[in-house]
Structure 1
Amino acid sequence: MKIRVAEIEDAASLVEIYRPYVEKTAITFEYEVPTVEEYTQRMTQTLKKYPYLVLENEQEKIVGYAYAGTYKGRTAYDWSVEVTVYLDQENHGHGYGKLLYTALEVYLSKQHVYQLTACITAGNGASEHFHEKLGYRKVAHFAQLGYKFGQWYDVCWMQKTLGDLPSQPAPFIPFSEL
């Protein structure tokens, strides 16, 4: 397995990994699968500031990806991100999500990011357990926040702190400048 920084040319593969999450689950609250063009735009925007990583198998097929994104659009939140991971449906339970998140954390630490957040559809025990094993703790629960497939879903937020918080953090470094 190989982890590398995502390239715009990967967008079609990432959309196909993402597709079943949109079409069949409430793991994401998107209703429509984004087009490759839309995904390319998202990736381009993300890579300006944050890491976007893919995991390839021995045949160089992308089997998963993870990225960080803006937690909130205010300067005081520069040291905090929201993290996301998606795996090909056939590649769950092999530790690939952990590999991706671990690599993501290396980059985020270099960027002087200290707080990682993950937004999870409540009741998704596998995701909650996965994040707990990686050191995240549940910090918020919102009732009936999202609506998909004819029902309301609760959402929980989980958080992980990378290292000790300094009294004065070093400036955030955009991923494109590492």
Structure 2
Amino acid sequence: MGMSVTISAASAQDAEHILKLQYLCYQGEAELCGDYTIEPLTQPLADLTAELERGHALVARLGDEIVASVRGEADETGTVRITRLIVHPRLRRHGLGGRLLDAIEEHFATGGAGVAKRFRLLTGHRGDGNLRLYRGRGYETVGVERVAPGRTLLTLEKAA
């Protein structure tokens, strides 16, 4: 490709591009669970924009194109909920998801926020690649919730 991927804070101007990437990235999850009405595929732009204003989001760019993103939000107890770690399908399995996960954790642990006591995220039980990434970074399953027939969400957590 010839270009480096850069990671930076997302802005409100990135919201539409993030939403389009989110829609593309969650097609596989929807297919796995047989449900195309999952929240990442139906989220309105206004909701995503509000998330960006409330928490912290990062984007990875290849040139001018947003090719990956992650969001995080800390609560009053120091729990940082990490959401929507997405990587464009053509760039998966090159370490970009791990780089974004490390960067959002760093932001909340020591960077701009410095409030994290623990990190928590949700993932589908059939997402082997996601589970490998999270477990490889020290996350452990702390909860299991069946949300629909054939669809189970795992809650994973690790100390900051």
Shift of 1:24: 5.0
CA distance in 2, matches of 1:31, 1:108: 23
Instruction: Flag as ranges the 4+ runs of structure 1 deviating above 6 A.
Output: none
Match of 2:122 in 1: 119
Match of 1:109 in 2: 109
Match of 2:51 in 1: 42
Q: Tell whether the 8 Å contact from 1:22 to 1:30 is kept in structure 2 after alignment.
A: no
CA distance in 1, matches of 2:154, 2:140: 10
CA distance in 1, matches of 2:52, 2:90: 24
CA distance in 1, matches of 2:14, 2:69: 10
Match of 2:87 in 1: 87
Return closer, same or farther for 1:98/1:23 CA change in 2, 3 Å cut-off: closer
SS in 1 for 2:43: coil
Identity %: 16
Equivalence map 1:13-24=2 (5 Å): 13-24=17-28
CA distance in 2, matches of 1:132, 1:31: 23
CA RMSD of aligned residues (A): 2.2
**Aligned pairs, how many?**
147
Quick one: which amino acid aligns to residue 61 of structure 2?
A: E
Shift of 1:70: 4.5
| Superposition TM-score, scaled by structure 1 size | 0.73
**1:25-49 alpha-carbon deviations (Å, 9 max, x no partner):** 2489317533333322221122xxx
Q: Tell whether the 8 Å contact from 2:9 to 2:57 is kept in structure 1 after alignment.
A: yes
Unaligned runs of 5+ in 1: 163-178
Match of 1:53 in 2: 58
| Superposition TM-score, scaled by structure 2 size | 0.81
Return closer, same or farther for 1:112/1:33 CA change in 2, 3 Å cut-off: same
Equivalence map 1:1-178=2 (5 Å): 1-26=5-30, 29-30=38-39, 32-46=41-55, 51-57=56-62, 59-70=63-74, 75=76, 77=77, 79-84=78-83, 85-110=85-110, 111-142=114-145, 144=146, 146-147=147-148, 151-162=149-160
